[in-house]
Amino acid sequence: MKVTGSQLVAEILLEHGVDTVFGYPGGTALNLYDTLYEYRDKIKHVLTAHEQGAAHAADGYSRATGKTGVVFATSGPGATNLVTGIATAFMDSIPMVAITANVPDSLIGRDAFQEISITGVAMPITKHTFFVNKIEDLAGALRNAFRIANSGRKGPVLIDITKDVTAAKIDYKPALPLPLNPSPVFRDEDVQEVAAMINAAERPIIYFGGGVPASNAGEELNRLLEIADIPATHTLMAAGIVGYDNKRNLGLIGMHGSIAANKAVDRADLVLALGARFSDRVALNPKKFARKARKVQIDIDTSEINKNVLVDFGVTADVKEFLTRLLPLIKEKDHSEWVSQATEWKKRTGDVKCQDAELHPSEIVQSVCKLTDKETIYVTDVGQHQMWAAQYLNHEKTHNFVTSGGLGTMGFGYGAAIGAQVGNPDKRVVHFTGDGSFHMNLNEACTAVSQELPIITVIMNNKVLGMVYQWQTTFYGKRYAATTPERKTDFPKLAEAFGAKGFSASNPAEFEEVFKKALQEKGPVWIDCAIARNERVLPMIPAGGAVEDMIIG
């Protein structure tokens, strides 16, 4: 069957089960979009307000569904607008395929209108880039893009296609998706060694990250915790794997982690790191991190082993495969003294409520939890509200906490919430944001309205850029450089202007009342929550510090 390059793109997307894409059209992408029109019954295209929103939407879609996110953009500014979104996915190892159109091959290198070498720009923020200026290379590039995005440690891939290729004709031969690269091979001796260390440990702790949800190893991890009676702490990327009420769950680790998690890691004699990379927000001081413990690291990416913290034993392996082989070797253990000590530490939190306002961040989050079900997907932007959401949400499910961890992208939330909701039309999506983050990309309200997405946006509005403001309060002598913008934005009115619904709340009762109303709406709702600017995210270990430097209240 003879098809155009654009039809070939559509056919290969269908081969990979893609039924939803996000994007924004433009001059060089006209052929691609003409084909998306032709295929509109098979592939749903979600038009965003800005390409950055489209990239975050594809990312959020992937995080909340486990599928590969696909985003389209035109050349030049369309392509460069994707960059922050692609980088966000790259830092959090999210599978994404970005397809950009470029100027016709005859104009490449001439600084043509809207020409940019996006493959060059995207090289450091993708697993791989393809530049396709020959129709015969297109099918291979597309099929390999899906293979690369989903093999090993996942991540984004970009394909840049010249406009002439999108119109050129070629014979299309259907094919199955390429097999993924085989996962790393590891030896029985390595599994035995790790099992022996776990069996011998007196104060073991498991520290796990995004590699656990990425390999779907939640069930195996929970069994390990139970059999060996080990407490666990998670990174921002792994909320929801171990149930909130599980006594062995010590919560978030690191800079804004729980007192229990950070103390337990400091006292432990064995730290088993699963799919986690000892980032500078976890091992704030790599030399003092878990200083009494032997450290074992299991990661699918060899380059992560010994990258940030030197470990005593490392195994390159898929976490699920490793745990599956490890579990039969683990002896039933009773660490009740150790677990109950950790549980005792859990009683102390950093929830110091600032009395300058009647509504407090922890109450907002807890109230949302109370009024929503376990299937709810929580999406955040970046800043104080993100940490409060991470700390106070009753995370219960894998893939239900969508947040930008590694890159920390303010403005991520609304696009990601749109992607999460499009991918899960039957689930409730609640988007936590701050007035700072939300101002970055609230333009996507028009997308949520036109797509009729019932996303509830909870704006924790302290009228300052809270996280930086908090650091300035603590470390910069209250010199508030560029964090008190004196904005007068009326969020409920702005919501109405977009065709959405807007509410405001300034005390807990009011918040509950309007949140209940928001749950009844068929389209997007914003709730403007007045909180005090002096609310702080606590506990906090300053950058480069250790557990003894923890600020609690």
Partner 1 sequence: MDQKIKKEVISILVDNQANVLTRVSSLFGRRGFNIDSLTVSATNDPNLSRITVVFTGTEQGLHQIITQTAKLEVVKKIFTLHSGDSIYRELLLLKVRADKTNRSAIKEIVDIYRGRIVDLSKDSLIIEITGDSDKLDAFMEMLSCYEIAEVCRTGITGIGRGPSWDEK
Binding site for partner 1 (CB under 8 A): 119-120, 123-124, 127-128, 131, 148, 152-153, 301-303, 306-307, 310
Measured from the Cβ of residue 347, the count of other Cβ atoms closer than 10 Å reads 8
Pick between residue 144 and residue 216 the one whose CB is nearest to partner 1.
144
Angular region, 481: left φ>0, alpha ψ -120 to 50, beta rest: beta
Catalytic residue among 67, 114, 307, 397: 114
Catalytic residue among 113, 219, 292, 517: 113
The one catalytic residue in 96, 467, 540, 550 is 467
Shortest Å distance, C-beta 131 to partner 1 = 8
Backbone Cα Rg of the chain: 24
The two structure tokens encoding residue 502: 């807007």
Reply yes or no on whether 90 is catalytic.
no
What distance in Å separates the CA atoms of residue 401 and residue 382, rounded to the nearest whole number? Answer: 13
Determine contact, residues 439/413, Cβ cutoff 8 Å: no
Min dist CB 424 to partner 1, Å, is 32
Kindly tell me which of 138 and 453 has the beta carbon lying closer to partner 1.
138
Count of beta carbons in the 10 Å neighbourhood of residue 307: 16
- In this complex, which beta carbon is closest to partner 1, that of residue 122 or of residue 271? 122
Report how far residue 95's alpha carbon sits from residue 93's, in angstroms, rounded to the nearest whole number: 7
Separation of alpha carbons 392 and 425, rounded Å: 25
DSSP state of 540: B
Count other C-beta atoms under 10 Å from residue 363's C-beta: 19
The least distance separating partner 1 from the CB of residue 314, rounded to whole angstroms, comes to 10
According to DSSP, the residues that pair with 4 across neighbouring strands are 169
Residues 6 or more apart whose Cβ sits within 8 Å of residue 182: none
Cα separation, 331 vs 413, whole angstroms: 43
Q: Are 40 and 430 in contact (CB under 8 A)?
A: no
Pairing of strands 169-171, 2-4: antiparallel
> Minimum Å distance from CB 144 to partner 1?
8
Q: Cα separation of 81 and 90, whole Å? A: 15
| Cβ contact 64:377 at 8 Å | yes
Mapped onto helix, strand or coil, the DSSP state of residue 381 is: coil
Tell me if residue 114 is catalytic.
yes
CA-wise closest residue to 510 among 501, 518, 500: 518
CB 430 within 8 A of CB 348: no
Nearer to partner 1 by Cβ, of 16 and 153: the residue is 153
Q: Is 118 helix (H, G, I), strand (E, B) or coil?
A: helix
405-423 burial, b if ≥16 CB within 10 A, otherwise e? bbbbbbbbbbbbbbbbbbb
- Are 147 and 139 within 8 A, CB to CB? no
CB of 90 to partner 1, least distance (A): 12
Are 75 and 101 in contact by the 8 Å Cβ rule? The answer is yes
Nearer Cβ to partner 1, position 153 or 360?
A: 153
> What's the rounded Cα separation, in Å, for the pair 410 and 88?
10
Provide the minimum distance between the beta carbon of 284 and partner 1 in the complex, in angstroms, as a whole number: 20
Burial class (CB within 10 angstroms; exposed 0-12, middle 13-18, buried 19+) of 527: buried
Smaller CB separation from partner 1, 60 or 210: 210
Indicate if 467 belongs to the active site.
yes
Nearer to partner 1, 306 or 474 (CB): 306
Q: Is 193 a catalytic residue?
A: no
Q: Is 485 helix (H, G, I), strand (E, B) or coil?
A: coil
Nearer to partner 1, 148 or 230 (CB): 148
Which residue among the candidates 7, 22, 51, 498 is catalytic per the annotation?
51
- Which helix (H) or strand (E) element contains residue 512? helix 508-520
Nearer to partner 1, 34 or 301 (CB): 301
Residue 451 bears catalytic tag: no
Give CA 474 to chain center in angstroms.
Answer: 28
Gap between the Cα atoms of 68 and 123, Å rounded: 19
The CB-of-162 to partner 1 minimum distance in angstroms stands at 14
Closest approach, Cβ 150 to partner 1, in A, equals 13
Kindly tell me which of 30 and 107 has the beta carbon lying closer to partner 1: 107
- Could you write out the DSSP letters of every residue in 241-294? SS-TT-TTEEEE-STT--HHHHHHHHH-SEEEEES----TTTSSSTTTTTTTSE
CB 107, min distance to partner 1, A: 18
User: Which is catalytic among the residues 127, 163, 295, 320?
Assistant: 163
Q: Mind telling me the catalytic residues?
A: 51, 113-114, 163, 467
